[in-house]
Structure 1
Protein backbone atom coordinates (compact mmCIF):
# COMPACT_ATOMS: atom_id res chain seq x y z
CA UNK A 1 0.00 0.00 0.00
CA UNK A 2 1.31 3.49 -0.91
CA UNK A 3 1.27 6.26 1.68
CA UNK A 4 -0.48 9.50 0.69
CA UNK A 5 1.36 11.48 3.35
CA UNK A 6 4.16 13.85 2.40
CA UNK A 7 7.25 13.59 4.56
CA UNK A 8 7.56 16.39 7.12
CA UNK A 9 10.78 17.62 5.55
CA UNK A 10 8.97 18.15 2.25
CA UNK A 11 6.19 20.10 4.01
CA UNK A 12 8.62 22.41 5.74
CA UNK A 13 10.39 23.14 2.49
CA UNK A 14 7.11 23.83 0.68
CA UNK A 15 5.50 26.10 3.28
CA UNK A 16 8.54 28.02 4.49
CA UNK A 17 10.68 28.99 1.53
CA UNK A 18 13.93 30.80 2.21
CA UNK A 19 13.59 34.46 1.28
CA UNK A 20 15.60 35.54 -1.73
CA UNK A 21 16.70 38.77 -0.05
CA UNK A 22 17.72 39.49 3.52
CA UNK A 23 15.06 40.77 5.86
CA UNK A 24 14.84 44.48 6.58
CA UNK A 25 17.03 45.20 9.57
CA UNK A 26 15.53 46.75 12.68
CA UNK A 27 17.51 49.97 12.09
CA UNK A 28 16.42 50.23 8.44
CA UNK A 29 12.81 49.65 9.46
CA UNK A 30 13.09 52.36 12.13
CA UNK A 31 14.53 54.89 9.66
CA UNK A 32 11.88 54.16 7.04
CA UNK A 33 9.09 54.33 9.60
CA UNK A 34 10.42 57.72 10.75
CA UNK A 35 10.02 59.11 7.21
CA UNK A 36 6.57 57.54 6.84
CA UNK A 37 5.49 59.10 10.15
CA UNK A 38 6.72 62.49 8.97
CA UNK A 39 4.67 62.12 5.78
CA UNK A 40 1.58 60.79 7.57
CA UNK A 41 0.37 64.21 8.69
CA UNK A 42 -1.73 66.30 6.24
CA UNK A 43 -0.19 69.57 7.43
CA UNK A 44 3.32 68.26 6.80
CA UNK A 45 2.33 67.12 3.32
CA UNK A 46 0.95 70.59 2.66
CA UNK A 47 4.17 72.17 3.94
CA UNK A 48 6.22 70.03 1.56
CA UNK A 49 3.92 71.04 -1.27
CA UNK A 50 4.20 74.74 -0.45
CA UNK A 51 7.99 74.63 -0.17
CA UNK A 52 8.29 72.60 -3.37
CA UNK A 53 6.03 75.03 -5.23
CA UNK A 54 7.82 78.17 -4.01
CA UNK A 55 9.16 80.21 -6.91
CA UNK A 56 12.58 80.57 -5.28
CA UNK A 57 12.70 76.93 -4.19
CA UNK A 58 12.54 77.91 -0.55
CA UNK A 59 10.02 79.34 1.89
CA UNK A 60 10.34 81.39 5.05
CA UNK A 61 8.55 80.07 8.10
CA UNK A 62 6.83 83.47 8.26
CA UNK A 63 5.12 82.67 4.93
CA UNK A 64 3.94 79.19 5.94
CA UNK A 65 1.59 79.93 8.81
CA UNK A 66 -1.17 81.71 6.87
CA UNK A 67 -1.73 79.07 4.16
CA UNK A 68 -2.12 76.38 6.83
CA UNK A 69 -4.11 78.45 9.29
CA UNK A 70 -1.82 77.28 12.10
CA UNK A 71 0.22 79.16 14.67
CA UNK A 72 3.91 79.76 14.08
CA UNK A 73 5.00 77.36 16.88
CA UNK A 74 2.84 74.58 15.41
CA UNK A 75 4.22 75.16 11.90
CA UNK A 76 7.77 75.21 13.30
CA UNK A 77 7.10 71.90 15.05
CA UNK A 78 5.94 70.29 11.79
CA UNK A 79 8.92 71.75 9.92
CA UNK A 80 11.33 70.34 12.51
CA UNK A 81 9.88 66.86 11.98
CA UNK A 82 10.35 67.21 8.21
CA UNK A 83 13.94 68.39 8.71
CA UNK A 84 14.69 65.53 11.13
CA UNK A 85 13.28 63.07 8.59
CA UNK A 86 15.69 64.39 5.97
CA UNK A 87 13.02 65.87 3.71
CA UNK A 88 13.65 69.59 4.26
CA UNK A 89 16.78 71.67 4.77
CA UNK A 90 16.68 74.60 7.23
CA UNK A 91 18.78 77.74 6.89
CA UNK A 92 18.70 80.43 9.55
CA UNK A 93 18.91 84.03 8.30
CA UNK A 94 18.68 86.62 11.02
CA UNK A 95 15.51 85.98 12.99
CA UNK A 96 13.85 83.88 10.26
CA UNK A 97 14.36 80.32 9.10
CA UNK A 98 14.09 79.37 5.44
CA UNK A 99 13.23 75.87 4.28
CA UNK A 100 14.00 74.09 1.04
CA UNK A 101 13.62 70.52 -0.17
CA UNK A 102 16.62 68.28 0.28
CA UNK A 103 17.63 67.34 -3.28
CA UNK A 104 16.30 63.87 -4.11
CA UNK A 105 14.48 63.48 -0.79
CA UNK A 106 11.00 63.17 -2.31
CA UNK A 107 12.22 60.55 -4.78
CA UNK A 108 13.99 58.64 -2.02
CA UNK A 109 10.85 58.71 0.12
CA UNK A 110 8.82 57.43 -2.83
CA UNK A 111 11.26 54.55 -3.24
CA UNK A 112 11.14 53.40 0.40
CA UNK A 113 8.37 50.90 -0.20
CA UNK A 114 9.94 49.61 -3.39
CA UNK A 115 13.10 48.75 -1.48
CA UNK A 116 11.34 46.37 0.91
Structure 2
Protein backbone atom coordinates (compact mmCIF):
# COMPACT_ATOMS: atom_id res chain seq x y z
CA UNK A 1 0.00 0.00 0.00
CA UNK A 2 1.20 3.53 -0.74
CA UNK A 3 2.33 5.81 2.06
CA UNK A 4 2.73 9.55 2.20
CA UNK A 5 6.43 9.26 1.33
CA UNK A 6 5.86 7.08 -1.74
CA UNK A 7 3.44 9.43 -3.53
CA UNK A 8 4.93 12.61 -5.02
CA UNK A 9 3.49 15.64 -3.26
CA UNK A 10 2.50 17.23 -6.57
CA UNK A 11 0.20 14.24 -7.25
CA UNK A 12 -1.43 14.70 -3.86
CA UNK A 13 -2.05 18.38 -4.63
CA UNK A 14 -3.26 17.64 -8.17
CA UNK A 15 -5.51 14.87 -6.87
CA UNK A 16 -7.27 16.99 -4.29
CA UNK A 17 -7.54 19.90 -6.71
CA UNK A 18 -9.14 17.57 -9.26
CA UNK A 19 -11.62 16.35 -6.67
CA UNK A 20 -12.71 19.93 -5.89
CA UNK A 21 -14.96 20.30 -8.93
CA UNK A 22 -18.54 18.94 -9.00
CA UNK A 23 -18.41 17.93 -12.68
CA UNK A 24 -15.18 15.98 -12.15
CA UNK A 25 -16.78 14.22 -9.19
CA UNK A 26 -19.69 13.28 -11.44
CA UNK A 27 -17.24 11.86 -13.99
CA UNK A 28 -15.58 9.74 -11.30
CA UNK A 29 -18.97 8.59 -10.06
CA UNK A 30 -19.93 7.40 -13.56
CA UNK A 31 -16.59 5.64 -13.96
CA UNK A 32 -17.18 3.74 -10.72
CA UNK A 33 -19.72 1.69 -12.65
CA UNK A 34 -17.85 1.04 -15.89
CA UNK A 35 -15.30 2.24 -18.41
CA UNK A 36 -16.84 4.89 -20.66
CA UNK A 37 -15.91 6.72 -23.85
CA UNK A 38 -15.99 10.49 -24.07
CA UNK A 39 -19.21 10.46 -26.09
CA UNK A 40 -21.00 8.42 -23.40
CA UNK A 41 -19.71 10.74 -20.67
CA UNK A 42 -20.93 13.78 -22.63
CA UNK A 43 -24.38 12.24 -23.07
CA UNK A 44 -24.78 11.20 -19.45
CA UNK A 45 -23.49 14.50 -18.07
CA UNK A 46 -25.33 16.55 -20.69
CA UNK A 47 -22.24 18.65 -21.33
CA UNK A 48 -20.25 19.72 -24.37
CA UNK A 49 -17.21 17.69 -25.36
CA UNK A 50 -14.97 20.78 -25.19
CA UNK A 51 -15.95 21.40 -21.56
CA UNK A 52 -15.60 17.74 -20.65
CA UNK A 53 -12.20 17.49 -22.36
CA UNK A 54 -10.83 20.16 -20.03
CA UNK A 55 -12.07 18.28 -16.97
CA UNK A 56 -10.76 14.94 -18.24
CA UNK A 57 -7.36 16.56 -18.76
CA UNK A 58 -7.33 17.66 -15.12
CA UNK A 59 -8.29 14.16 -13.99
CA UNK A 60 -5.59 12.60 -16.20
CA UNK A 61 -2.91 14.99 -14.92
CA UNK A 62 -3.88 14.00 -11.38
CA UNK A 63 -3.69 10.35 -12.49
CA UNK A 64 -7.22 9.72 -11.22
CA UNK A 65 -8.38 8.31 -14.56
CA UNK A 66 -6.71 6.20 -17.23
CA UNK A 67 -7.33 6.76 -20.91
CA UNK A 68 -7.37 3.84 -23.34
CA UNK A 69 -7.40 4.39 -27.10
CA UNK A 70 -9.46 1.97 -29.18
CA UNK A 71 -9.61 2.98 -32.80
CA UNK A 72 -10.73 6.58 -32.89
CA UNK A 73 -12.39 6.42 -29.46
CA UNK A 74 -10.83 7.11 -26.08
CA UNK A 75 -12.23 5.19 -23.13
CA UNK A 76 -11.71 6.24 -19.52
CA UNK A 77 -11.58 4.20 -16.34
CA UNK A 78 -10.68 4.92 -12.74
CA UNK A 79 -7.07 4.66 -11.67
CA UNK A 80 -7.79 3.02 -8.33
CA UNK A 81 -4.19 3.02 -7.01
CA UNK A 82 -4.13 6.83 -7.16
CA UNK A 83 -7.47 7.09 -5.37
CA UNK A 84 -6.11 4.73 -2.71
CA UNK A 85 -3.02 6.94 -2.41
CA UNK A 86 -5.19 9.99 -1.66
CA UNK A 87 -7.21 8.02 0.84
CA UNK A 88 -4.02 6.77 2.49
CA UNK A 89 -2.65 10.32 2.65
CA UNK A 90 -5.68 11.47 4.63
CA UNK A 91 -5.63 8.37 6.79
CA UNK A 92 -1.92 8.74 7.60
CA UNK A 93 -2.30 12.46 8.23
CA UNK A 94 -5.05 11.86 10.75
CA UNK A 95 -3.35 8.86 12.33
CA UNK A 96 0.09 10.49 12.61
CA UNK A 97 -1.02 13.96 13.72
CA UNK A 98 -1.04 14.72 17.42
CA UNK A 99 -4.54 14.98 18.75
CA UNK A 100 -5.29 18.44 20.10
CA UNK A 101 -7.95 19.10 22.71
CA UNK A 102 -11.12 20.61 21.32
CA UNK A 103 -11.25 24.37 21.58
CA UNK A 104 -14.33 26.29 22.45
CA UNK A 105 -15.48 28.86 19.94
CA UNK A 106 -17.09 30.93 22.68
CA UNK A 107 -15.27 34.11 23.63
CA UNK A 108 -14.37 34.26 27.26
CA UNK A 109 -14.05 37.85 28.44
Unmatched 5+ stretches in structure 2: 94-109
Q: C-alpha separation between the residues in 2 aligned to 1:103 and 1:37?
A: 17
Three-state SS of the structure 2 residue aligned to 1:115 is helix
TM-score when scaled to structure 2? 0.70
- Alpha-carbon distance, 1:105 to partner: 2.5
Question: Of the two, which has the highest radius of gyration?
Answer: 1
Three-state SS of the structure 1 residue aligned to 2:92 is coil
Unmatched 5+ stretches in structure 1: 1-23
Q: Does 1:71 align with 2:48?
A: yes
Match of 1:95 in 2: 72
Q: Does 1:32 align with 2:12?
A: yes
Alpha carbon RMSD of aligned pairs, Å? 2.1
CA deviation map 1:60-105 (0-9, x unaligned)? 1110012212101111111111111011110112221100111323
TM-score when scaled to structure 1? 0.66
Aligned length: 89
Q: C-alpha separation between the residues in 2 aligned to 1:29 and 1:86?
A: 13
* 2:82 aligns with one of 83, 102, 105: 105
CA deviation map 1:14-56 (0-9, x unaligned)? xxxxxxxxxx89xx543322110000001101101101112xx
Greater share of helix residues, 1 or 2? 2
Match of 1:16 in 2: none
